Structure 1
């Protein structure tokens, strides 16, 4: 699916994560800012990528600011951002959840 609009989900509070999805042209491109990027950066990206794959998003620019979010929070924020970016707010993809 193609991203219709830039979308954001999450906050910059402790134990949360903010994600911004926008149109991309070269696959999934990540810009990750996190104090724990060396330890968990690949896991954060993999969690987000799995959500984008579930929505068939092949091209996206993904800006992520992590403040210590756990995996379920990362997944929830990615789902929310994807649904907003695809303009599916009122039509959730229950299989992804």
Structure 2
């Protein structure tokens, strides 16, 4: 699926993650800003990539600012941002969960 607009989900509060998705050309590129990136960066990127792939996104630029979010929060924020970027918020992709 093709990204139609730049979209964001999440906050910069503790235990959350803010994810911004925009159109890309070379697969899913993730710029992660996290104080725990050395420990959990690969897992955070995997959850984001898997969620975007499940929604049909193949090319995207992602900016993620993590404040200690659990995997379930990362997935929820990635899904919300993806649906906003695809302009499909009226058609929730429940099967991604």
Quote how far apart the aligned CAs of 1:74 are. Answer: 0.4
Tell me the equivalent position of 2:72.
Answer: 72
Tell me the equivalent position of 2:5.
Answer: 5
Higher helix share: 2
The CA distance in 1 between the partners of 2:31 and 2:8, in whole Å, is 14
Tell me the equivalent position of 1:28.
Answer: 28
Find the residue that maps to 1:92 and give its secondary structure: coil
Tell me the equivalent position of 2:42.
Answer: 42
Quote how far apart the aligned CAs of 1:78 are. Answer: 0.5
Find the residue that maps to 2:95 and give its secondary structure: coil
Q: Does 1:84 align with 2:97?
A: no
The CA distance in 1 between the partners of 2:31 and 2:48, in whole Å, is 12
Quote how far apart the aligned CAs of 1:56 are. Answer: 1.4
Quote how far apart the aligned CAs of 1:94 are. Answer: 1.7
Identify unmatched segments of 5+ residues in structure 2: none
Identify unmatched segments of 5+ residues in structure 1: none
1:15-48 superposed Cα distances (whole Å, 9 cap, x missing partner) = 0000000000111111100000000000000000
Q: How does the TM-score come out when normalised to structure 2?
A: 0.98
The CA distance in 1 between the partners of 2:15 and 2:94, in whole Å, is 26
Q: Over aligned residue pairs, what C-alpha RMSD do you find?
A: 0.6
Find the residue that maps to 1:2 and give its secondary structure: coil
Find the residue that maps to 1:95 and give its secondary structure: helix
